[in-house]
Amino acid sequence: MTPKPDEIIKYEWSRSADAAMEITPLDIREHQFKLRFRGFDVREVDEFLEEIARFVNALITRNAALENQARKMKAEIKERLEREAVVTRALHQSHGALEKIKENAQRSAELVVSEAEVRAERILNRAHNRLAQLHEDIAGLKRQRVQIEAQIRAIIESHSKLLDVAKEEMTTADEDFSKLKFLKKAP
């Protein structure tokens, strides 16, 4: 609200500290002084009063402008403080959300690592089991080889004995045949 040039200005009157006087530029312009013998020059007093009225009017205008500027600045400060509060709240909320995201990411990473460790442990256990099975299979194959070698030796020995027996029988049969031939020739 801008005051009008003829609005009242309150000030302490210098003659009395107790009395507050209300005065407008119009009051200054229309004020009449009493005339006395050897008084003041009326024209000079009127000019001075007019100058004071212009000065008071300029003060009122300047005061109104300053009050308006102060109101605008207060409104701007209030608006900036409100925006700052909004930004601060948003920062706090985003910081909280960021912390939650970090925590969730950390938990997720830990879960992934844990699952990978479990999978790796299973794979390792299967590999160990397979290795143990292969060792058992190799040991079983070695035992089978030893058994087969023993069986083959036994078969070879048995065939060797059969060959020896057959050789002896052949030798005996050849001897018997030679004797028969000799007996047939002998007559």
Return per-residue pLDDT of the chain as tens, 187 residues: 455 555 555 443 333 334 445 677 787 777 777 777 777 778 888 888 888 888 888 998 999 999 999 999 999 999 999 999 999 999 999 999 999 999 999 999 999 999 999 999 999 999 999 999 999 999 999 999 999 999 999 999 998 888 888 888 888 888 877 777 776 665 5
Distance CA 152, CA 42 (A): 159
Quote the Cα angle for 163-166-168, to 5°: 110
Q: For residue 22, which phi and psi values (nearest 5 degrees)?
A: -105, 130
Distance CA 61, CA 5 (A): 7
**Helix (H, G, I), strand (E, B), or coil: what is residue 32?**
coil
Max Cα-Cα span within the chain: 218
Summarize pLDDT for 136-157 with one digit per residue, the tens: 999 999 999 999 999 999 999 9
Sign for the CA dihedral angle at 113, 115, 119, 122 comes to: positive
Q: Radius of gyration of the chain from Cα atoms?
A: 66
DSSP for residue 186: -
Q: How far apart are the first and last CA of the chain?
A: 175
Distance CA 60, CA 144 (A): 122
Distance CA 98, CA 101 (A): 5
pTM for this entry: 0.41
> Which residue ranges make up each domain of the chain?
9-102
Distance CA 145, CA 48 (A): 139
Which of left, alpha, beta for 38 (phi over 0: left; psi -120 to 50: alpha)?
A: left
Task: Name 25's Cβ contacts closer than 8 Å, sequence gap at least 6.
Answer: 5, 6, 53, 54, 56, 57, 60
Sign for the CA dihedral angle at 48, 53, 58, 60 comes to: positive
